Amino acid sequence: MSDRLEDVAERTPIKMRVRETIILRIVGKALVPFILLFALYVQFHGDYGPGGGFQAGVIFAAGLILHALIFGLDSLREKVPPIVVEIGIAVGALLYAGVGVVSMFMGGEFLHYGMLDTHDMAHGQHLGILLVELGVGITVTFVMVAIFYAFAGRSRQ
């Protein structure tokens, strides 16, 4: 009996075997929210320690890609449609650039964060760094997902 199962497993495409593995699906479903939560931790504590927007964006995208690898590309595309990915890339870049433009309108140089709060320059620095890193995190997340969509959506020929 086990010889027959091994023969079937050898002929079955890998992606079918991964999706039908109940343990992997359960563990993946349990881990993905914690991966996304850890990405948020890295994002919002990046100015106090290691981490920041780029690292958080990659971790967040890795969680989404793990979901797609376990449950299928179509499942991720239902939850994060390609139009949302395109808008997310633009929003992140606009947030980054917007912080710089606002600081210029407030009388400083491009990305001079202290100008964001004229009463307390340190608070303006903190706010500016937080917003710029958030823009980087959003952009990196959606660029990584866009790259995954581009490669995962291709057929083998």
Low-confidence ranges of the chain (pLDDT < 50): 1-2
Nearest to 32 by CA among 76, 52, 62, 75: 62
- Are the CB atoms for 51 and 42 separated by under 8 Å? yes
Asked if 72 contacts 19 with a C-beta cutoff of 8 angstroms, the reply is: yes
- Note the pLDDT of residue 47: 67
What pLDDT, in 10s, does the model give residues 95-111? 999 999 999 998 888 88
- Supply the pTM of this predicted model: 0.81
- Burial tier of 155 (Cβ tally within 10 Å: 0-12, 13-18, 19+): exposed
